[in-house]
Amino acid sequence: MAWTKYQLFLAGLMLITGSLNTLSAKWADMFSAPGCYGTQDHTFSHPFVQAVGMFLGELSCLVVFHILLCYDRRRPESTMEPGQSFNPLLFLPPALCDMLGTSIMYIALNMTSASSFQMLRGAVIIFTGLLSVAFLGRRLQPSQWIGILVTILGLVVVGLSDFLNGHGNDSHKLSEVITGDLLIIMAQIIVSVQMVLEEKFVYKHNVHPLKAVGTEGFFGFVILSLLLIPMFYIHVGSFADNPRHVLEDALDAFCQIGHKPLIILALLGNTVSIAFFNFAGISVTKEISATTRMVLDSLRTLVIWVVSLALGWEKFQGLQILGFIILLVGTAMYNGLHKPLMDKLPCCPREQRAEEGDTPERERLLGEGKATQDS
């Protein structure tokens, strides 16, 4: 069935804003400007400030939810299901995981390329699959296990590409690239814990997705904003790439923005894009399918890679493309995208695969889960 104009718009919005989310964050990292203390130009390395902006974008989803709800109630026939009432503290544990995982990923983005950053986030299906077996009692199908193994192979190839390219990389040292890649994979473990927590404790309450995203954004924004105060005094030595070598120097970030206002444009791009990306992702799942959402999420990795090459942020690496293709195959197999093709094969009719069954819960776990993992 052909897509409607509205469905095409939603798919395009998700693809564009999802790509802009990573590209704008990387763009901010590439700026250099003087700081507050009479310091010389230095890179804008403020991952926690960027994470606060991202949570602000998520928080705006709560505003959008109430606007849509008010608009729906004024219509003759209400069509929007607001969901049941719930204790907002249910979202605190997932929000803490989101806060930690997002902050680690922004630190890693300072150390590696935007395309590798996006590709390595594919590791989330490995840990989500394993944790869903351990804590949700889910039984993975053989095709899902194969998808996990293929994904691991893809991650190895992408990591090897970064290792080989790191020797000739002018913007990042080899040690930084390797550390950044490992941090991204580590962050996916935390994101997987977040997904499992949401599946086990949150989704059973029938909470509207926009409200869920906005509530987690509220907790993340408030808590991380408060944590910026002690971070200002915690010295971490050479690990921090700011003049005072503290965990986060928010004042230095604002001074750099004052000296180079274009930085605020990059930060706003990150904040606004995450809000529209969450809205578009949820709408794509509702109007089209969770499978389409997964396909679009994979395609944005390609968009990020192409744009990074066009802007001269990266050099072409054939091995990285091979890794991306392998990751794409692994993700497709894990999420059952191969099944429609198998239906058309005379040797594999649907009746013979009835044992595998459909997996709407898994699609909800990875398809309708928060797109901040897609941030």
What does the pLDDT read at residue 171?
A: 61
pLDDT averaged per 10 residues in sequence order, the chain, 375 residues: 82 92 93 86 93 94 89 80 79 92 92 88 89 87 92 92 67 80 93 86 76 91 96 88 90 93 94 90 78 80 90 86 91 78 58 44 41 46
Rounded-to-integer distance, Cα 337 and Cα 260, Å: 45
**Residue 283 and residue 355: Cα distance in Å, rounded?**
31
Q: What is the pLDDT of residue 51?
A: 95
Distance CA 215, CA 317 (A): 40
Residue 175 corresponds to which tokens in the numbers above? 């040690």
Q: Using CA atoms of 90, 91, 94, 100 in order, give the dihedral in degrees to the nearest 10.
A: -130
User: 142-166 vs 174-197: helix axis angle to the nearest 10?
Assistant: 160
What one-character DSSP code corresponds to residue 32? Answer: E
**What is the reported pLDDT for 340?**
64
pLDDT at res. 1: 54
First CA to last CA across the chain, in angstroms?
30
The reported pTM is 0.83
| Per-residue pLDDT at 170 | 54
Contact 51/99 with Cβ under 8 angstroms? yes
Q: Any idea how long the chain is?
A: 375
How far apart (Å, rounded) are the C-alpha atoms in residues 190 and 100? 7
* 198 DSSP assignment: I
User: In terms of DSSP bridges, do strands 32-33 and 42-43 run parallel, antiparallel, or are they unpaired?
Assistant: antiparallel
Coil, helix or strand for 235? strand
- What pLDDT, on the 0 to 100 scale, is given for residue 360? 42
How far apart CA 335 and CA 347 sit, in angstroms, is: 21
The predicted structure's pLDDT at residue 31: 93
